[in-house]
Chains A and B, each alone.
Chain A
Amino acid sequence: MDRKNHTPPKLAEKLLRQFLKPDFLEDVLGDLEENFYFVLRNRSSSVAWFTYWYQTFNYLRPFALKKSKSKTINQFTMLRHHVKVSWRTLLRQKVFSSIEIGGFAVGIAACILIALYIGHQVNYDRHYEHKDQIFRVVNQWSERGEVGYWSNVHGPLKEVLEDNIPEMEQVARIVLWSWGDAGENHLRKIESKYNRYEEGFFYADPELLNILEIPMVYGMQEHALSDPNSMVISRRKADQYFPNENPVGRRIVLNDNPETIYTIGGVMENFPATSHLQGDFILTLYGRKDGPGTSGWCCTNYNMYVKLVAQANRIAVEQKTVELRNSFVIERLREDGQSGLDDIQKYQSYYLQPVENIHLNPEEVGDDLSHGSVDLVWIFGFIAVIILLLACINFVNLATSKSLKRAKEVGLRKVVGSSQTSLIYQYLSESCVYSLLAILLGVFLAWSALPFFNQLAGASLSIPWLSVWFIPLLLISALLIGVLSGIYPAFYLSRFRPIEALKGQADGGARNSLLRSGMVVFQFTATVILIIGALVTHQQFQFLMNKSLGYEKDQVINILGINTMEGSMREALKEELLKLSMVESASLSDYLPVEGSFVQNRSFWIADRRQLDNGFEAARWAVDEDYITTMKMKISQGRNFISGSADDSSIIINESMVRELGLEEPVGTRIVDMFDLEYHIVGVVKDFYFESLYQNVRPLAMVLGKGRTTLSVKINSPDIQATMASIGEVWEKFNTHQAIRYSFMDQRFEKMYEGLQQAKTIFLLFAMLSILVACLGLFALSIYMVEQRGKEISVRKVLGASMGRIFKLLTFDFVKLVLIAIVLAVPVAWYFMDYFLSDMVNRIELSWQVFAFGGVVAIVIAVGTISFESIKAAIINPAKKLRSE
């Protein structure tokens, strides 16, 4: 666009000259130019420029177009002819055509699904009006060029930021981890007696509604959370608990606890599926007396969101936070008596993470949210391209291998005067017809596979039929894929020389067969890589599931939600359950070695060394005296807690913590935590995996305490149903107004590795798809080859070749290609799978058997595919083939 010249666009004028009736040319050009200067006077030059183009396109009307000469009519007729010929070719060779189209369709279906998935993943948190102003404040630690982030910050930081950084319009803290009433609860309306279990509670400052622009159904963003003990619930929960009424002002009791009565201050819209933050109940942090919202500079318990003023510069604001850290935060931490302040001064600062980044989390901020995986997006996209490529290759392969059959057609067309250009047009339109059909079929396939895919990827996608861009996009891609995959066959076929073609001498030539072989090699390389990927992820998954964990996860039932009962009743329930014959032991503790249970971390030191050492963080669990026996953990030194004894200040630590403390004789040593509580070590428990198997076991300390929410029961009966029935009966005696809720620990353990399981299924699925596509291609090629060599085979048979010889002759060429593919695939697969496993602590070693197995599978499949046609060729009566000569 030429903004300086202020003249109408030359290109548009040229276009008008091209298509406009000569009669109209002068006055139309005049009108448009006059309009251009008219717009230019009132608006900017780019608007005028745009208007001129707009007006130009609006002249694309039948009345204004040049009278079509015979040429255009002819072209249209030719196009119709091309389509007709394509259709006839398609019908004449049904197997070939259906393989071409079917293979294409599979590739396209895979692409559509994956595009939907990727589209969903990258569309998170784009719906905020001021999304450029919304950030999450996270910590940044950069030491020797390595940068790490984590999301937990100090509570009082909110006020510090509000008071000192004017660019921060609003600041809100939220609590997502299970602290106070965050997480899951039993709730009832105050007038009701029956408790219902609900998930999705979190705490937030009143400003959050404003910052995240959460639309309200009832109540105001400004006031909904601004009274002490107020809460906001989602529309779906409002519809469930208070159908057809405005619930603002109604009161809700959590966990039967008279201390935790909340008043509904508003109803918000459900969080959209593309929001990183999910939940149905927001509890206010405002005006709390204890627990969430009140902790000081001791602990980092909050995630923090800010909204900057418009046009604020993020980097400048971050710079201000660094100044604040130096002048203010460090001072507070020193008053709190914390160590390691020099390191904080040197390495730690704050980072503002844009809200759109939170879901895919490219910075890898450590937090409690569930994230999409950038890796998965890449892997998916990569696989989609590969499968589409395989399908395109099939098309090219089949089209060129059909070429001999069509050589006569080309020859004849050339003889009657067809130019090479028009032949190219013909074959391109043919491939476009094929790809259009394939796209229709592909959309249908994608549509029918969507429910399965949703389950696999844990998403809720739908095909956007009604989007403005959907249908045009499909048509454009049909054309594009059609042209891309048709271009080689088109040029190749149209080049035949008529005389040779008609004599039947046109020959694929060595170059062509090399290309075809190359494509088969490529297809099988991709297939072998995917097969190996599926095998390795499967092995890794099995390895994790069978790994000895240091405790027994089987036959342990966690009875949940007992926090609505009195403490003494919880004890009584435990005693009562122990009377059942199938219950081996039971333990009251909220801390479980699986995901989704309580977490608490504290820093520890050897007593008297608090001022000298830096200390380290360890998980701190409160368990009762039956916990270690119930979970079948092993005590390696010292003893377990003894019931009724004065074990209040006793502590049991794991072996990893012993190493961290550097103790030779741990039993009897005294240690202190960050709140200056002193313990003496009575026992050491063998390391067990209480977090992810992808990491090493962290230090862990257990103290004596009673769980409030969870009762774990070890059972010794294989009859789960009967056991659950008797446990249910006992529960009924204690708790009539709340349904029993329980989980099996082994299932919760497996759930931790859902990601890996998904990866396994995805690999398997795509490996199968690529096998399918590659096999279709190979199958069609083998049909072609047998047809071509039919006479040769017959002559050989007449001369006495055995069936075995002929079979070997026909398959060997292809097997050679597959062998080459395997040789190429193995190093690539090894590299990728090693990378995939590299950040897991507990990983399998890649064994040669896996690769060998992958290769054998590929060969078996290839030979199986080819042998169908080869055997047919080998057993046919040679007379039949030779007779027609």
Chain B
Amino acid sequence: MKETKLGEFEEVILLLVGILKEKAYAFRITEEFKTQTGRGSSIGSVHSTLERLIEKGFLTSEMGKPSAERGGRRKRIYFLTADGQKALQVSKEFRISLWNQLPEFSVNQLSFG
């Protein structure tokens, strides 16, 4: 069976793909990752994660439209699959349940928007 756990980096990338919607292609995701987390990463490593997420069944990809600033080349756009959304949901609930078990920070005192 295929590994379907989410690593921290994978989870962030998955979320970014969801956020960026139809603008989710490797270069944009890398830039967004940089602005959101303040950490740098190469396009290559983001791309390799995206491909891994496809293998796990959380993403699909499709070729988009060409544009001039990329020398007339098309983009590869990534979309969340249902499995991907479920994986994110599971991961979020798992965290919240962990937070709830931490006495000083139970969810009643903290609000997670």
* Residues 50-64 of A contacting B (Cβ, < 8 Å): 54-55, 57-61, 63-64
Q: Do B45 and A35 touch across chains, with their CB atoms under 8 A apart? A: no
- Does A28 interact with chain B (Cβ within 8 Å)? yes
Cα(A149)–Cα(B45), bound, Å: 59
Q: Note all chain B residues with C-beta closer than 8 A to A29.
A: 70-71, 73
What residue in chain A is nearest B76 (Cβ atoms)? Answer: A27
CA distance A30 to B27 in the complex (A): 9
> Closest CB-CB distance, B50 to chain A, in whole Å?
9
Tell me which residues across on chain A come within 8 A of B32, comparing CB atoms.
none
A622 at interface, CB cutoff 8 A: no
In the complex, the answer to whether B42 meets A33 with C-beta atoms within 8 Å is no
B51 at the interface (CB under 8 A from A): yes
**In the complex, B21 has a CB within 8 A of chain A:** no
Q: Which residues of B contact A474 (CB under 8 A)?
A: none
Known contacts: A27-B76, A29-B73. The answer to whether A34 contacts B27 by CB under 8 A is yes
Does B4 reach chain A (CB closer than 8 Å)?
no
Report the Cα distance A840→B31, complex, angstroms: 70
Contacts of A63 in B (CB 8 A): 47-48, 51-52
**Which B residues are CB-close (under 8 A) to A26?**
63, 73-74
Let me know if A578 is at the binding interface, CB within 8 A. Answer: no
B73: which of A30, A54, A60 is its contact (CB, 8 Å)? A30
**Min CB gap B96→A, angstroms:** 33
Q: Please measure, in the bound complex, the distance between the C-alpha atom of A24 and the C-alpha atom of B76, giving whole angstroms.
A: 9
CA distance A34 to B64 in the complex (A): 15
A37 proximal to B (CB < 8 A) = yes
Could you tell me if A30 and B70 are in contact, using CB atoms closer than 8 angstroms?
yes
Query: How far apart sit A38 and B63, CA to CA, in the bound complex (Å)?
Result: 21
Q: Which of A30, A33, A38, A61 contacts B48 (CB 8 A)?
A: A61
Contact B47 A59 (CB under 8 A): yes
| Residues in B63-104 with C-beta less than 8 Å from chain A | 63, 69-71, 73-76
In the bound complex, residues from chain A placing their C-beta under 8 Å from that of B31 are 38
**Interface residues in A1-42 (C-beta closer than 8 Å to B):** 24, 26-35, 37-38
| In the complex, chain B residues whose CB is within 8 Å of the CB of A27 | 25-26, 63, 73-76
Q: Which residues of chain A are within 8 angstroms of B52 by Cβ–Cβ distance?
A: 63
Closest CB in chain A relative to B35 CB, distance in Å: 12
Bound state CA distance, A816 and B71, in angstroms?
72
- Residues of A near B43 (CB, < 8 A) are 28, 31-32, 35, 55, 58-59
Q: In the complex, A103→B77 CA distance in Å? A: 60
Contact A58 B42 (CB under 8 A): yes
The secondary-structure label for the interface of chain B is: helix
Closest B residue to A23 by beta carbon equals B76
A35 CB contacts on chain B under 8 angstroms: 27, 30, 43
Interface flags, A403-438, vs B, CB<8A=1, else 0: 000000000000000000000000000000000000
| Alpha-carbon gap, A57 to B43, bound state (A) | 10
* Contact residues of B between 17 and 63, Cβ < 8 Å to A: 25-27, 30-31, 42-45, 47-48, 51-52, 63
Question: Which one, B25, B47, B73, B76, contacts A33 given CB within 8 A?
Answer: B73
Take A31-B25, A31-B26, A58-B42 as given contacts and tell me if A64 and B73 are in contact as well, using a CB distance cutoff of 8 Å.
no
B31 to chain A, nearest CB (A): 7
Report Cα–Cα, A768/B43, bound state, in Å: 57
Q: Which of B48, B51, B70 counts the most chain A CB atoms within 10 A?
A: B70
- Alpha-carbon gap, A61 to B46, bound state (A): 11
* Binary interface encoding of chain A residues 143-175 relative to chain B, with 1 for a CB under 8 A from any of its CBs, else 0: 000000000000000000000000000000000
**Minimum Cβ distance to chain A for residue B7 (Å):** 15
- Which residues from B are CB-within-8-Å of A64? 44, 47-48, 51
Chain B's nearest CB lies how many Å from the CB of A19?
12
Instruction: Compute how far the CA of A31 lies from the CA of B30 in the bound complex, rounded to whole angstroms.
Output: 10
Closest Cβ of chain B to A114, distance in Å, is 40
| Minimum C-beta distance from B30 to chain A (A) | 8
Which chain B residue lies CB-closest to A55?
Answer: B43
User: B51 to chain A: which residues have CB within 8 Å?
Assistant: 63-64
Identify A31's interface contact among B45, B48, B70, CB under 8 A: B70
B26: A residues at CB distance < 8 A: 27-28, 31
Q: Determine whether the beta carbon of A61 is less than 8 Å from that of B45.
A: yes
Residue ID in chain B nearest A56 by CB atoms = B44
CB-nearest residue of chain B relative to A31? B27
| Contact call B70/A54, Cβ cutoff below 8 A | no
> How far, in angstroms, from A59 to B45 measured CA to CA in the complex?
7
Q: How far is the CA of A32 from the CA of B30 in the complex (A)?
A: 11
In the complex the two chains form, what is the Cα distance from A504 to B44 in whole Å? 56
Q: CA of A228 to CA of B51 in the docked complex: distance in angstroms?
A: 74
Task: Say which residue of B44, B45, B74 sits within 8 Å of A30 (CB atoms).
Answer: B74
Which residues of chain A are within 8 angstroms of B44 by Cβ–Cβ distance? Answer: 55, 57-61, 64
User: Which of A35, A37, A57 is most buried by chain B, counting CB atoms within 10 A of its CB?
Assistant: A35
When distances are taken between beta carbons in the complex, the residues of chain B under 8 Å from A38 are 27, 31
Q: Give the residue among B27, B30, B75 with the most A Cβ atoms within 10 A.
A: B27
User: What separation, in Å, do the CA atoms of A55 and B74 have in the docked complex?
Assistant: 19
A30 touching B71 by the CB < 8 A rule?
Answer: yes
| CA–CA, A31 and B29, complex, Å | 11
Q: Closest A-chain residue to B31, C-beta based?
A: A38
Asked if B75 and A30 make an inter-chain contact with CB atoms under 8 angstroms apart, the answer reads yes
User: Would you give the shortest CB distance from B2 to chain A, in whole angstroms?
Assistant: 15
A416 and B45 alpha carbons, distance in the complex (Å): 44
When chains A and B are docked, how far (Å) is the Cα of A24 from the Cα of B44?
Answer: 11
Complex Cα distance, B68 from A37, in Å, reads: 11
Among candidates A33, A55, A58, residue contacting B71 with C-beta atoms closer than 8 Å:
A33
Q: How far is the CB of A27 from chain B (nearest CB, A)?
A: 4
Shortest beta-carbon distance from B23 to chain A in Å: 12
Which of chain A's residues have a CB closer than 8 A to the CB of B69? 33-34, 37
Nearest chain A CB to B13 CB, angstrom units:
14
Name, among B45, B48, B73, the residue most crowded by chain A CB atoms within 10 Å (CB to CB): B73
* Minimal beta-carbon separation of A5 from chain B (angstroms): 14
CB distance from B71 to the nearest CB of A (A): 5
Question: How far does the alpha carbon of A54 sit from the alpha carbon of B45 in the complex, in Å?
Answer: 12
Q: A28 to B71: give the CA distance in the assembly, Å.
A: 12
Q: Which of A31, A33, A59 counts the most chain B CB atoms within 10 A?
A: A31
Which of A24, A28, A37, A58 interacts with B45 by CB under 8 Å? A58
Q: Smallest CB-CB separation from B55: which chain A residue? A: A63
Cβ distance B49 to chain A, nearest Cβ, rounded Å: 9
Chain A proximity of B26: nearest CB distance (Å): 5
**Complexed CA–CA distance, A55 and B31 (Å):** 13
Measured in the bound complex, the distance between the Cα atoms of B44 and A59 in whole Å is 5
CA distance A29 to B47 in the complex (A): 12
Q: Shortest distance in angstroms between A203's beta carbon and chain B's nearest beta carbon?
A: 53
Question: B75 to chain A: which residues have CB within 8 Å?
Answer: 27, 30-31
The answer for the CA separation of A33 and B26 in the assembled complex, in Å, is 12
Give A55 to B30 CA distance when docked, in angstroms.
11
How far is A32 from B25 in the complex, measured between Cα atoms in Å? 12
Quick one: closest A residue to B49, CB to CB?
A63
CB distance from A7 to the nearest CB of B (A): 9
| CA of A24 to CA of B75, assembled, Å | 10
* Chain A positions within 8 Å of B71 at CB level: 29-30, 33
The answer for the CA separation of A35 and B70 in the assembled complex, in Å, is: 9
Find A28's partner among B30, B47, B63 (CB 8 Å cutoff).
B47
Write out the residue numbers on chain A whose beta carbons fall within 8 Å of the beta carbon of B73. Answer: 26-27, 29-30, 33
Residue from B25, B42, B48, B76 in contact with A54 in the complex, judged by beta carbons closer than 8 Å:
B42
Residues of A within 8 A of B45 (CB): 58, 61
In the complex the two chains form, what is the Cα distance from A400 to B42 in whole Å? 49
A98 CB, nearest partner CB in chain B, Å: 46
> CB-CB < 8 A to A30: which residues of B?
27, 70-71, 73-75
Chain A residues near B76: list those with CB within 8 A: 24, 27
Q: List 7 A-B contacts (CB under 8 A).
A: A24-B47, A27-B74, A29-B70, A29-B71, A30-B75, A64-B47, A64-B51
4 tightest A-B CB contacts, nearest first: A58-B44, A30-B73, A58-B42, A30-B70
Further contacts, 15 of them, CB under 8 A, given A27-B73, A29-B73: A26-B63, A26-B74, A27-B76, A30-B27, A30-B74, A30-B75, A32-B27, A34-B27, A35-B27, A55-B43, A57-B44, A58-B44, A61-B48, A63-B48, A64-B51
**A residues with CB within 8 A of B:** 24, 26-35, 37-38, 54-55, 57-61, 63-64
